[in-house]
């Protein structure tokens, strides 16, 4: 029998063995893959992850990427998120990665993300499961666009949010207002819930907790943001399950929303249906609200562009009766507004990069991407590349004038390939309609020096406080 003294004597040897194992496992991929792109691995275990995640303004690359691109080129190796990684800041390689999903590369988000999103989330499932869920997402988008009430619902909610500011004393936290708007739109389309219903406020409160944990350190200890996020997801799931059960019991009273489309399919289990609803809420909530906040932030710093946007929307409103709603034809006329949205996405870089994994050894030009290595295509590095976008760090919406400027390989704010965000166009419609009523009713300026920061997910540290001044009564 081993005594306590023997264990004490053996402890240094055990510790040394663990350290050697850690060091060898960290640096062994460097020795086994000498033809991988140049780069560095940093310290064992943590690698260079902390430097990679150092907060920085989203219209800059940040010190990590600037340093590594200058030393190793636009494609380099590193050790990030506990695994050897090839980082791509190259437009052509990023496109190659996105277009070869499931053939050469595979979605590979860190395990803690799975713990919050759930194993059935469309963001993390692979292969045929992802294809099946994506087809449903496309059906959601198609059915939503075909609904006669869709544009009217967006405008009604925008008027409700903007109208509520008239009694707020001239100061609002804009990110909160944008979240209310985006969330109200998506719960209306998916669950037929209005902003006034108590269950809507309950889901929104849990979603705020959920989002804070999604971008937190993955420590599942009671009281931590990560643990609270897991609990919030469980509560949202329970609420959605309750809505599904009520809908099934009231089969004779079908509502005009996507939940009925979802309930009519036999392709998904109940767990997958609940997870799909959560994915839809997440996709239509966070990125859409942040996109609107980015537009307001950049326009608040550019009087010239704001004036052009106001003139465009005044022209559209001048052709309509006082209470007449916006139409799809009006949306098509919002050309400069679309340039502003595209430029806010390019400068704001809401989605900086995505996680992929090489399924086999891949040769691309002079690079070897070893099998099993993580691959990070960095969209922000392409969006901010001065050789692709002149004065890349400057907000210049006029750069998008001309045919097909917003659909090229050098602009991927919504990803690409088979994982291209299916709701991207709907998000732009929401932003444009909201902006229509904002610029016709209010002037604004940023209150203080709040700027967006990448943590790595982009957010405004103070929630973008703005001072507003009414222009006229509601349109």
Cα separation, 33 vs 349, whole angstroms: 32
Residue with tokens 């925008």: 158
d(CA 445, CA 300): 6
How far apart, in whole angstroms, are the C-alpha atoms of residue 68 and residue 58? 17
Q: What is the DSSP-derived secondary structure letter of residue 285?
A: T
Q: Is 391 strand, coil or helix?
A: coil
Q: Are 297 and 460 in contact (CB under 8 A)?
A: yes
Q: What is the DSSP letter of 105?
A: E
Which strands form 442-446's sheet, in the order they lie side by side?
171-173, 465-470, 442-446
Alpha helices in 215-351 (DSSP H): 225-249, 258-263, 270-283, 286-299, 303-318, 328-333, 335-348
User: CA 425 to CA 5: how far, in whole Å?
Assistant: 68
Reading the block at residue 183, the tokens are: 């969330």
Nearest to 89 by CA among 78, 101, 77, 75: 75
With a CB cutoff of 8 Å and minimum separation 6, the contacts of 38 are 72, 73, 76, 77
3-state secondary structure of 470: strand
Neighbours of 4 (CB within 10 A): 7
Give the C-alpha separation, 193 to 204, whole Å.
Answer: 12
The CA distance from 179 to 430, in Å, is 12
**Inter-CA distances, 183 with 315, 377, 450, Å:** 29, 29, 23
For strands 374-377 and 83-88, give the pairing.
parallel
Q: Is 421 annotated as a binding residue?
A: yes
Residues 6+ positions from 191 with CB-CB distance below 8 Å: 240, 243, 257, 259, 277
Among 226, 283, 207, smallest CA distance to 110 is for 226
| Tokens read off for 446 | 């940023």
Residue 377 near residue 97 (C-beta atoms within 8 A): yes
Alpha carbons 301 and 75: distance in angstroms, whole number: 34
User: Which residues line the annotated binding site?
Assistant: 421
User: Which residues line the annotated binding site for heme?
Assistant: 421
């Amino acid at each position: 029998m081993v005594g306590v003294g023997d264990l004490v004597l053996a402890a240094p040897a055990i510790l040394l063995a663990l350290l050697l194992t850690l060091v060898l496992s960290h640096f062994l991929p460097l020795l086994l893959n000498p033809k991988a792109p140049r780069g560095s691995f940093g310290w064992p275990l943590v690698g260079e992850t902390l430097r990679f995640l150092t907060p920085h303004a989203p219209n800059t690359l940040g010190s990590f990427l600037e340093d590594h691109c200058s030393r190793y080129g636009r494609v380099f190796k590193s050790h990030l998120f506990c695994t050897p990684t090839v980082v791509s800041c190259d437009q052509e390689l990023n496109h190659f990665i996105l277009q070869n999903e499931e053939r050469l590369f595979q979605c590979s988000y860190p395990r803690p993300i799975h713990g919050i999103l759930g194993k059935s989330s469309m963001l993390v499932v692979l292969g045929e499961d992802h294809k099946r869920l994506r087809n449903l997402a496309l059906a959601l988008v198609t059915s939503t666009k075909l609904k006669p009430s869709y544009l009217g619902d967006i405008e009604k909610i925008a008027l409700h949010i903007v109208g509520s500011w008239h009694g707020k004393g001239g100061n609002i936290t804009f990110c909160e207002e944008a979240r209310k708007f985006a969330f109200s739109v998506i719960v209306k389309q998916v669950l037929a819930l209005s902003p006034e219903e108590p269950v809507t406020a309950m889901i929104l409160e849990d979603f705020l907790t959920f989002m804070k944990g999604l971008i937190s350190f993955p420590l599942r200890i009671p009281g931590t943001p990560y643990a609270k996020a897991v609990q919030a997801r469980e509560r949202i799931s329970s609420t959605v399950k309750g809505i599904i059960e009520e809908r099934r019991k009231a089969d004779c009273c079908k509502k005009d929303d996507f939940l009925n489309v979802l309930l009519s399919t036999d392709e998904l289990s109940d767990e997958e249906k609940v997870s799909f609803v959560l994915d839809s809420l997440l996709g239509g909530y966070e990125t859409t609200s942040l996109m609107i906040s980015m537009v307001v932030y950049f326009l608040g710093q550019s009087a010239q562009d704001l004036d052009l946007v106001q003139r465009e929307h005044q022209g559209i409103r001048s052709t309509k009766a006082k209470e007449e709603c916006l139409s799809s034809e009006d949306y098509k006329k919002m050309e400069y507004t679309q340039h502003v949205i595209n430029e806010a996405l390019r400068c704001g870089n809401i989605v900086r990069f995505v996680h992929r994994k090489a399924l086999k050894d891949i040769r691309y030009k002079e690079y070897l991407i070893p099998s099993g290595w993580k691959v990070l295509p960095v969209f922000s590095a392409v969006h901010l590349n001065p050789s692709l976008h002149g004065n890349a760090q400057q907000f210049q919406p006029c750069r998008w004038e001309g045919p097909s400027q917003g659909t090229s390989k050098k602009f991927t704010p919504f990803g690409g390939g088979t994982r291209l965000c299916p709701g991207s166009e709907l998000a732009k419609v929401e932003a444009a309609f909201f902006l229509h009523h904002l610029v016709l009713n209010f002037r604004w300026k940023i209150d203080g020096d709040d700027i967006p920061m990448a943590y790595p997910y982009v957010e405004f540290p103070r929630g973008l406080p703005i001072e507003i001044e009414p222009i006229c009564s509601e349109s």
